[in-house]
A and B are shown apart, each in its own frame.
Chain A
Amino acid sequence: MTIREAAAALRKKGLSAVDLATAAIARIERLDGSLRAFITVTAPYALQRARQADAELAAGNDRGTLHGIPIAVKDLFAMRGVRTTAGSKVFENFVPDANATVIDRLEKCGAVLLGKLNLHELAYGITSNNPFFGAVRNPWNVAHIPGGSSGGSGAAVAANMVYAAMGTDTGGSIRIPASFCGSVGLKPTYGRISRYGVMPLAYSLDHAGPLTRSVSDAAVMLNAMAGPDPLDDSSSRHPTVDYLPEDVPSIRGLRVGFPQNFFFERVDADVESAVRGACARAESLGAILKPVTVPDMAAISAIGRVILLAESSAYLEPYLNEPSRFGSDVWSLLQQGRLLPATDYVNAQRLRRRVREQFCELWQEVDCLFTPTTPNTAPHIGAQIVTLGGVEEDVRLATTRFVRGMNVLGLPALSIPCGLSGSGLPIGLQIIGPAFDEALILKVGAALEAGGVGIPPCQVST
């Protein structure tokens, strides 16, 4: 069931919020020993909130589509009175005394919070192979990673433990697990969703966003959270709209950019085939596919890596006196960040302004872009290298190749499932749009979904 289906069932009186929460808790108990999607399950709190939701509905106080719906958040979001670890030994005993704005907004809409989800340590990586809280496993095949850093979010949604999960995305960390786990993942425009109370990784690249089982559910989540926040300097005052697409939206006449460079280089054959299939479906629904040449995405990615290394090491500098509190991969990245000169960081931020102007010229030619979310499907747990187009690449660098640029540019990007590989692993299509046009990319995603682009529900492999 999707959020909207569950919401309809709640209002037909056949089902209660307590039923939904109880079922979700039972599923977590059954599956999480294998999947390790959760760090903390807040079952008593969720049941109390579910009882409250039922009472409110019975009294005619309906908070909307999220009322009574079980969700969870990446363990990077501060939740009052609940341990918030960032998947790190450094913060293993941190208990915030206030909620992240996102949590307040979701709860105001009646969502029932079931707990805190596992992630790549400090959100700094893409495997979610967490050295302190266990390796999150991919529900489609537990020998494979779920992606990351929001790996627990991707796994929990795909395994039907929750209806939606919050993730964060600094270099692809919502879209990668969405792609690898066959979920929908939305990275909104930079500043669209408040980051107050979300532990930072890189201030100028961090985004918060939802992972869901349908595109319209992502819109429901965005409707609940979007908008300015006086507590977050980076939050935008750009007006919000109703993001929920029509049930069968039309994309007739929409100009879809299909990159001729970069995005189809060194791509797994199954991924390329699935993404081209989704493009063909868009065309059959009336979209106009236009070949485009995108600016130097490898350069944009390099700019992003310089910014990420510098900002993350700056934020975590006070904790860098105890190597034993870090996993080896994260420690190495934090050390690398300490070596970069300040001039490189400033120049990376200058280049960022320049490449944003270059990239946004594309919106004169097309309304949105279609690309693969990742060039590969989910690698095996522990894999360091992936071979694509006969070239061996570091797993992290390969997996972030098509997504990191949108963090540098701050543009909204949606990943939707568009097929399964020969070995039965999900493949993601990335839909990129102009700044603050989340409504457009959600409409396009919903049109494709309604047009049959997608995958069957996950039969969890344990």
Chain B
Amino acid sequence: MRDWKAIAAAHELNLEGHDLDRAIQALTKLEEQFRPLLADLTPEIEPATRFDAAGSET
């Protein structure tokens, strides 16, 4: 698991004390849910985002 407190310090996060603890707790819980999902990813799965090189949508 990531050291969110260190990452927050490195980013000079504008949160202190209890607010910082709450934010880190939320990120830690989210990472616990999110991280195991990555094991299911295979290389052919592309992101569900779209870029239209021809710009034909506009």
- List A contacts of B23 (CB < 8 A): 332, 335-336
Stretch at the interface among A45-53, A83-91, A145-153, A297-305: A297-305
Instruction: Say whether B48 contacts A339, CB under 8 Å.
Output: no
State in angstroms the CA–CA spacing of A92 and B1 once bound together: 40
Which residues of B27-58 have CB atoms within 8 Å of chain A's CB atoms? 27, 30, 33-34, 37-38, 40-41, 45-49, 52, 57-58
Stretch at the interface among A60-68, A341-349, A416-424: A341-349
Q: A347-B38, A348-B34 are in contact. Are A335 and B15 (CB under 8 A)?
A: yes
Q: A350-B48, A354-B45 are in contact. Are A344 and B34 (CB under 8 A)?
A: yes
Considering the complex, give the chain A residue whose CB is closest to the CB of B52.
A233
State in angstroms the CA–CA spacing of A351 and B33 once bound together: 13
- List A contacts of B7 (CB < 8 A): 339
Q: A233-B58, A349-B48 are in contact. Are A303 and B14 (CB under 8 A)?
A: no
Interface size on B, residues (CB 8 A): 27
Q: How far is the CB of A321 from chain B (nearest CB, A)?
A: 9
Instruction: Say whether A353 contacts B47, CB under 8 Å.
Output: yes
Q: How far is the CB of A15 from chain B (nearest CB, A)?
A: 43
Q: A302-B33, A305-B30, A332-B22 are in contact. Are A351 and B40 (CB under 8 A)?
A: yes
Q: Which are the 10 A-B pairs with shortest beta-carbon distances?
A: A349-B47, A302-B33, A353-B48, A352-B48, A302-B34, A350-B45, A349-B48, A332-B23, A350-B47, A336-B23
- A selection of 19 A-B contacts at a CB cut-off of 8 Å is A231-B58, A233-B57, A233-B58, A299-B33, A302-B37, A303-B34, A323-B14, A335-B13, A336-B23, A338-B13, A339-B8, A339-B13, A339-B27, A346-B47, A347-B38, A349-B47, A349-B48, A351-B40, A353-B46
- Chain A interface residues (CB < 8 Å from chain B): 204, 230-231, 233, 298-299, 302-303, 305-306, 309, 320, 323, 328, 331-332, 335-336, 338-340, 344, 346-354, 356
